[in-house]
Amino acid sequence: MKKNKMKILLINGPNLNLLGTRETSIYGKTTLKNLLNDLRKEADNLNIELIDTQSNAEHVLIEKIHTAKDIINYIIINPAAFSHTSIAIRDALMAIDIPFIEVHISNIYAREHFRSHSWLSDISQGVICGLGMDGYFWALKTAAKRLLDMQIYKKK
Ligand code: DQA
């Protein structure tokens, strides 16, 4: 019997729908659509089902996080500006208790001071920032490896 694929939810926060045209000297010229196409190919290679969502609204992201409970095995999130403001997104992630990696395209520590604090970092499994779009691919690889390790561990 074919085993169900592990499911990873990729969440992109506000203004990331504008990737490719938004502040290209910071975020580059890759569009969200192109990024997602490439990530889906990588997820296929890793035998992972990648589910993605982007919203500019905090409550929509919170509701998506709630619906992940018992369905999603791992989360990769670029909370964008909500990283620096949203205790509500932090609480939502704590409530569902699914491991996650926080990704930032830019190096948030090398920019305005207010970007150097994230409400999610200390509850994440890890943070990748400043590596451009590559950060998403490293996060996906790491998530896939951790899920595999967990499966192997469970079988023992
Ligand atoms: C960002 C960094 C945030 O400070 C900013 O508000 C974003 C994008 C990044 O990916 O570098 O919108 O999360």
Sorted by where each begins, the domain ranges of the chain are: 6-155
Q: How far apart are CA 26 and CA 107, in angstroms?
A: 9
DSSP 8-state code for residue 71: T
66 catalytic? Reply is no
Residues in Cβ contact with 97 at an 8 Å cutoff, skipping those fewer than 6 apart = none
**105 Cβ below 6 A of ligand 1:** yes
Fold exhibited by the domain 6-155: Rossmann fold (3.40.50)
Distance 153 CA to ligand 1 centre (A): 35
Q: Is the pLDDT of residue 1 over 50?
A: no
Q: What is the mean pLDDT of residues 39-48?
A: 96
Distance 146 CA to ligand 1 centre (A): 25
Share of the chain above pLDDT 70, in %: 95
27 catalytic? Reply is yes
Instruction: Extract the tokens encoding 134.
Output: 């590559």
**15 Cβ below 6 A of ligand 1:** yes
What pLDDT was estimated at residue 153?
Answer: 60
Q: How far apart are CA 153 and CA 77, in angstroms?
A: 25
What pLDDT was estimated at residue 4?
Answer: 77
State if pTM tops 0.85. yes
What pLDDT was estimated at residue 107?
Answer: 98
From the list 134, 147, 136, the residue with the least C-alpha distance to 47 is: 147
